[in-house]
Amino acid sequence: MKIQIVACDIDKETPAKSYAITVDGEEHELDLCQEHARPIDELIAAAKGETLPEPAKAQAAPPMQFTPPSPAPRKTAASAEQKPAAKKRGGRRPKITSMEEIEAAKARKAQD
């Protein structure tokens, strides 16, 4: 997932609107907050014959706080009564036989 936040090019405030202004064939792209975009919005409104409402007193949003995750609780040593019995590891190992034992087993098998 991708999140894109547009901030004012002048003071880095958010939220901001993107404006594309063309002057004598030269295009300028600006991202402006409400305060810095006000003169442009007033020009556009005047050209349309409208008036803009007075800006409301800006209430600063509380700064976002980063709260790190709390550490995992530490495991304490359990008493012998609480611990499960230890598992045996490995199991049955294969019998190791020498070449002489193998040849002797073959000879016995051939006699039977």
Kindly state whether residue 81 falls inside one of the protein's structural domains.
no
The position carrying tokens 């020498």 is 98
CATH number of the domain bearing residue 21: 3.30.60
Extended beta strands in 1-112, E state: 17-23, 26-32
Q: What is the pTM of this model?
A: 0.42
**How do residues 11-32 score in pLDDT, each as one tens digit?**
988 889 999 989 899 999 999 9
Kindly state whether residue 63 falls inside one of the protein's structural domains.
no
Kindly state whether residue 84 falls inside one of the protein's structural domains.
no
Kindly state whether residue 15 falls inside one of the protein's structural domains.
yes
Kindly state whether residue 43 falls inside one of the protein's structural domains.
yes
Q: Is the pLDDT of residue 59 over 70?
A: no
Determine the average pLDDT of the residues in 26-42: 90
Kindly state whether residue 100 falls inside one of the protein's structural domains.
no
Number of domains in the chain: 1
The token pair at 100 is: 């002489």
**How do residues 91-109 score in pLDDT, each as one tens digit?**
777 888 899 999 999 999 9
Range of the domain at 33: 1-54
